[in-house]
Amino acid sequence: MYRWDFSPVVANADLLVAGLLNTLKITGTALVFGVALGLVLALLRLSQQRLASWPAGFVIEVFRTTPPLVQLFWFFFALPLIVGIEMTPFMAAAVTFSIQSAAFFAEVFRAGIVSIERGQWEGARAIGMTRSQTLQRIVLPQAVKRMIPAFMERAIELMKTTTLVATISYADLLFAANEIAQKTFRPLETFTVVALIYFVVIFAVSLIARQIERRLAVSGESTVH
Amino acid sequence: MGHRWDFSSVLANTDALLVGAIGTLHIFAICLVLGLSLGLVVGLGRYSRNGWFYFPATAFVEFFRNTPVLVQILWFYFALPILLPFEISPLAAASLGISLNSAAFSAEIYRGGIQSIEPGQWDGARALGMRWGQVMRRIVLPQAIKRMLPALTNRAIEIFKMTTLASAVAYVELLQQGKLIASLNFNPIEAYTAIAVIFFICLWPLVQLSYLLERRLRRDE
């Protein structure tokens, strides 16, 4: 029988904490840029102008249909050679996950915006609002509420996807696990603890998301996915 | 800027890419079959009113949905062999991680699909004297499958994308071969671009299919 011993993992708790902080840092960065860029992409995609909607659609399709790890490798190994600037693992990861999650957020925004009844647009036009005023003051505030569940789901997916940064040596939580496992020869305990840390953090966010979704359902709010 | 693209060094390694493509298709097929069939079992467990089925199925779904796949793969590769008297191959570790993860996600698709079938269908079939298993097989699942098809297609796409994670445990698939070509020929730009294009070409038709299925379902209902 194997004798479990967690003390070597506990002794390296500082590495785990540093790793978790880096995981949160890359998730937060990609979330902020992803949401902002996602809104821009969605608006471009919904535009009547082919010159705006077509490239936006192309970016969304490419980043939704290629594997995130391929994207990460491309931005880390290929892009720096093309543009001639050094990329740290953090920069490459931030760029990749921002654009990638933007592509998914764009579809969430788009679904939210088109879910708002035409009458709302017509009403706003009738009282003299321009298209962007209608969007800002009437459509988006209502759409955002409907998008919250899909939005939280994407944020959770993003956090799970950030583990890929370990493959380009960014010191996230998974990278810390690799390091500790090699140092202590305790891969079983280390990877089990790290899996549990991920579970606790992500499950907590999932529970909050479900709670919000339930509250929206109770208030009779429809949601988009 | 000013990089001169030259794909000849990638084209000279077509055989290596082919080996990678076969590896990708191999693990994709395993995970698709295992993931979707195990998902049905777990989904039925989630649907069950019997606590002995419901609670283990729920724990399974929650655990595998709320941890990253890469962590699961590395756990199966580095941690599990400590408990077992034998080694775990990269293919086995990656297949286990991806299949169990996909089972957890597809379980929720199956459960949602089964729940979407009106109770009247159950009542009617029971009135005809069918047993639970018969109702499920002959009445409920055939109708539910149609509603689940777009979501299951999306799952298949996700599984295809996830197969790249097998490269983290050095399983020979497309991305792993791309790494190899890039390091041997010093052509990361062309090598990784080629890999991205190959994945896009493979997945784009599947994505279009999922859109088509979604539209058709919306029209029919």
Instruction: Give the tens place of pLDDT for each residue, B137-154.
Output: 999 999 999 899 999 999
Q: Is B43 helix (H, G, I), strand (E, B) or coil?
A: helix
**Nearest C-alpha in A relative to B210:** A65
Mean pLDDT, residues B201-215: 93
The answer for residues whose C-beta is within 8 angstroms of residue B42's C-beta and 6 or more apart is B57, B60, B61, B103, B104, B107
Q: How far is B5 from chain A (nearest CA, A)?
A: 10
Q: Is B121 helix (H, G, I), strand (E, B) or coil?
A: helix
> What was the pLDDT predicted at B1?
54
The total of other beta-carbon atoms located within 10 Å of residue A154's CB is 20
CATH topology of domain A7-218: MetI-like fold (1.10.3720)
| Residue of A87, A191, A193 for testing the chain B interface, max B β-carbons within 10 Å | A191
The helix or strand, by DSSP H or E, that contains position A62, with its residue range, turns out to be helix A50-65
The answer for residues whose C-beta is within 8 angstroms of residue A119's C-beta and 6 or more apart is none
> What was the pLDDT predicted at A1?
76
Q: Is A67 helix (H, G, I), strand (E, B) or coil?
A: coil
Q: Where are the domains of chain A?
A: 7-218
pLDDT tens-digit readout, B95-130: 999 999 999 999 999 999 999 999 999 999 999 999
The verdict on A163 touching B (C-beta cutoff 8 Å) is: yes
> What was the pLDDT predicted at B221?
76
CA atoms within 13 A on the CB side of A118: 0
Chain B: residues touching A (Cβ < 8 Å): 1, 3, 62-63, 65-72, 74-75, 78-80, 82-83, 157, 160-165, 167-168, 175, 178-179, 182, 188-189, 191-193, 195-196, 199-200, 203-204, 207
pLDDT at B2 over 80: no
Q: How far is A114 from chain B (nearest CA, A)?
A: 15
**In degrees, to the nearest 5, what angle opens at C-alpha B104 toward C-alphas B113 and B24?**
110
Spell out the per-residue pLDDT of chain A, length 225, in tens.
788 999 999 999 999 999 999 999 999 999 999 999 999 999 999 998 999 999 999 999 999 999 999 999 999 999 999 998 989 999 999 999 999 999 999 999 999 999 998 899 999 999 999 988 999 999 999 998 889 989 999 999 999 999 999 999 999 999 999 999 999 999 999 999 999 999 999 999 999 999 998 888 887 667 776
d(CA B162, CA A14): 31
Burial class (CB in 10 A: 0-12, 13-18, 19+), A19: buried
d(CA A22, CA A6): 23
Residue type for position A7: S
> Torsion over CA of A81, A83, A88 and A92, rounded to 10 degrees?
-100
Q: What is the mean pLDDT of chain B?
A: 94
Mean pLDDT, residues B158-169: 97
The helix or strand, by DSSP H or E, that contains position B65, with its residue range, turns out to be helix B51-65
Q: B13-51 burial, b if ≥16 CB within 10 A, otherwise e?
A: beebbebbbebbebbbebbbebbbebbbebbbbbbeeee
Residue type for position A140: L
User: A146 and A222 in contact (C-beta within 8 Å)?
Assistant: yes
Contact B157 A65 (CB under 8 A): yes
Structural domains present in chain B: 8-220 (1.10.3720.10)
